[in-house]
A and B are shown apart, each in its own frame.
Chain A
Amino acid sequence: MSSALHATESVGLSVSHLVIKYGDITAVDHVSFTAQPGRVTVILGPNGAGKTSTIEACEGFLAPTSGSVQVLGLNPFLQRKQLNRKMGVMLQEGGIYPSARVAELVRQYCALYGNGVDADVLISRVGLQSVASTTYRRLSGGEKQRLSLALALAARPHIIFLDEPTSGIDVNGRDLVRHIIRELRDSGCCVLVATHELDEAERIADDVLIFHRGNIVASGTLDELRSGREEIRFRSTSRIDLHSLSTTLGLPVEQTRLHEFTVAGTSDARVIVQLTDWAKANNVELGDIGAGSQRLDDVFRRLTAESAS
């Protein structure tokens, strides 16, 4: 590796005023952000938010309409050959010959990258030893995802783009993927994960970017996104008069899911006492009362709703 690359890898990814248009439609509208080596940056957003277009521009698959992208200090279009040697890519789906066998694919990609990754060790690392001689088309959804991850790891990446890495994977498989993501981060790799799964993001993210309608509506660490957003959460199967409870507590109360409610703006124990007193007086059963920072999905819902309005 050249010394120039070492010098520029202090920022893994730098995106500046990125605009991507498809005809008259603007998919990404003046987006700017950075992602650091040794951190996991999760890109969240609903369908059509501009996540995939942004990632594809960073991977060099898509030309920006305007703006600039620097990956490990390199332009992904003009210096793709140099970049591809150290960039891992996991597509959301596909990317593999259906008739190819797991072991031969991993060997092929290890050989193509030529970074000294041992194919057999890599197959074990992603837990695919038992299906090493199975063709791609016969793998389960989770096994396909793990194979796709293995091909990204074959690059011994300095930066890795993972598109929905836990989609369709069972609980044990998810633990394995999370473990690998943490290993990558700890080794100094710049990890970017695009996902719809907010619980997953909450488990692995150091930094979060929330995309909505082609813009970044929020960015920061998990704590930064949640800060100042205290809440009390509780469950109840009873019919709750939200107006009456809000008036009693002097705070907004809303139903977030079936049988799940939040009192926004506080985690004060005195409000919890007021809540339980109100429940007793109104014959309302309460359960799973908790207080603390807002969950990421609530932050996400709030931000995307605010952006929409």
Chain B
Amino acid sequence: MKLLRIQLACELRVLARNGEQLLLILGIPLLLLSFFSNVDILPTSGQSSVNFLLPGIVALAIMSTAMVSLGIATGFERSYQVLKRLGATPLGVPRLVLAKALSVLVVELVQVTLLISLAQVFGADLGGLNIAKLALAIALGTLAFSGVGLSLAGRLRGEINLAAQNALYLLLLLIGGIVFPLQEFPSWLHWVGRIAPSGALADVMRDVFSRTSVHGASSLVVLLCWAVAAQLSAFKLFRWN
């Protein structure tokens, strides 16, 4: 427990010093929510902008932290041989992985709290929010995106991994129905979005925040499949040094 606490503190300290990562995981989601909640230019299918945006932006925040931030940081740690050096301490792989997972969850807790608080300021209706479903969605989303991020980080060189993670982030942001409703997309892209991990998580989040289930269990099943497949992929592809 002590070793886990030491490494968790280290992970959070390193993250807190990384301005680019903070911009990605906190700045961009908060900025998108603030801007599009107050500038009414999105087709939101009759909903208020903030009510439409909040679930997608929470999904975006989870994608930013679990995939891009974790993936980039781990990729560079691998390139800098930080993981190799830690491998020669009594820390051990399970504690290192757990410390990284907990640091992601701590950040996500902060993100979700800030985003919900900000949405409330902009007048979001949070009457339908189901905390248990939110926790499940965060857990599955984190498993899915961390699996994708670590799969890339485990094989690509630091700089290439950085570019790949950012490119994938942008692609998943655009096709996932996070800022623009999937219904507005051409039908083939609509279905691509539905089965993309970002689209599935955004749909699950919409159910979490709404009074009635819109997407049913299908999005949850897609997200669960992504979580399992991505973790298996990370397990198979990841190399510590």
Query: Is A168's beta carbon under 8 Å from chain B?
Result: no
A94 touches B90 (CB 8 A): no
Q: Which residues of A contact B14 (CB under 8 A)?
A: 97, 99-100
Q: Which residues of B contact A61 (CB under 8 A)?
A: 84, 87-88, 241
Say how far A233's CB is from chain B's closest CB, in angstroms.
41
Query: Is A114's beta carbon under 8 Å from chain B?
Result: yes
Query: Is A216's beta carbon under 8 Å from chain B?
Result: no
How would residues 76 to 101 of chain A score, 1 for a CB under 8 Å from any chain B CB and 0 otherwise? 00000100110101010111111110
Give the contacting residue for B85; candidates A85, A87, A96, A114; CB below 8 A: A96
Query: Is B218's beta carbon under 8 Å from chain A?
Result: no
B77 touches A97 (CB 8 A): yes
Give the contacting residue for B80; candidates A81, A87, A95, A155; CB below 8 A: A95
B90 touches A84 (CB 8 A): yes
A94 touches B80 (CB 8 A): yes
Say how far A228's CB is from chain B's closest CB, in angstroms.
40
Say how far B235's CB is from chain A's closest CB, in angstroms.
18
B88 touches A59 (CB 8 A): yes
Query: Is B212's beta carbon under 8 Å from chain A?
Result: no
B81 touches A91 (CB 8 A): yes
Q: Which residues of B contact A114 (CB under 8 A)?
A: 2-3, 90
Please classify how large the interface on chain B is, using the bins under 10, 10 to 19, 20 to 34, 35 or more: 20 to 34
Bound Cα distance from A201 to B208, whole angstroms: 66
Bound Cα distance from A94 to B79, whole angstroms: 9
Give the contacting residue for B82; candidates A60, A84, A87, A95; CB below 8 A: A95
Say how far B89's CB is from chain A's closest CB, in angstroms.
5
A81 touches B92 (CB 8 A): yes
B89 touches A97 (CB 8 A): no
Say how far A150's CB is from chain B's closest CB, in angstroms.
12
A111 touches B2 (CB 8 A): yes
A112 touches B241 (CB 8 A): no
A112 touches B91 (CB 8 A): yes
Q: Which residues of B contact A81 (CB under 8 A)?
A: 90, 92
Query: Is A31's beta carbon under 8 Å from chain B?
Result: no
8 Å CB contacts to A: which residues of B57-101?
77, 80-82, 84-85, 87-92
A98 touches B90 (CB 8 A): no
Most buried by A among B17, B88, B89: B88
Query: Is B38's beta carbon under 8 Å from chain A?
Result: no
Bound Cα distance from A45 to B176, whole angstroms: 55
B6 touches A108 (CB 8 A): yes
Most buried by A among B2, B10, B18: B10
Query: Is B157's beta carbon under 8 Å from chain A?
Result: no
Query: Is B133's beta carbon under 8 Å from chain A?
Result: no
A89 touches B6 (CB 8 A): no
Bound Cα distance from A87 to B18, whole angstroms: 31
B84 touches A95 (CB 8 A): yes
- Nearest A residue (CB) for B83: A95
- Nearest B residue (CB) for A114: B90
Bound Cα distance from A60 to B90, whole angstroms: 13
Query: Is A210's beta carbon under 8 Å from chain B?
Result: no
Query: Is A109's beta carbon under 8 Å from chain B?
Result: yes
Say how far B95's CB is from chain A's closest CB, in angstroms.
10
Bound Cα distance from A234 to B124, whole angstroms: 89
Say how far B91's CB is from chain A's closest CB, in angstroms.
6
Say how far B129's CB is from chain A's closest CB, in angstroms.
37
Q: Which residues of A contact B84 (CB under 8 A)?
A: 61, 91, 95
Bound Cα distance from A90 to B84, whole angstroms: 11
Say how far B221's CB is from chain A's closest CB, in angstroms.
39
Say how far A114's CB is from chain B's closest CB, in angstroms.
7
Give 7 closest A-B pairs by Cβ, nearest first.
A95-B85, A94-B81, A89-B88, A99-B17, A95-B81, A112-B89, A111-B6
6 residue pairs from A and B, CB less than 8 Å apart: A60-B87, A61-B241, A84-B89, A91-B85, A94-B80, A111-B6
Supplied contacts A97-B10, A97-B77, A100-B14, 11 more A-B pairs, CB within 8 Å: A60-B87, A84-B88, A84-B90, A87-B88, A89-B88, A93-B81, A94-B82, A97-B80, A100-B13, A108-B7, A151-B85
Q: Which residues of B contact A (CB under 8 A)?
A: 2-3, 6-7, 10, 13-14, 17-18, 77, 80-82, 84-85, 87-92, 241
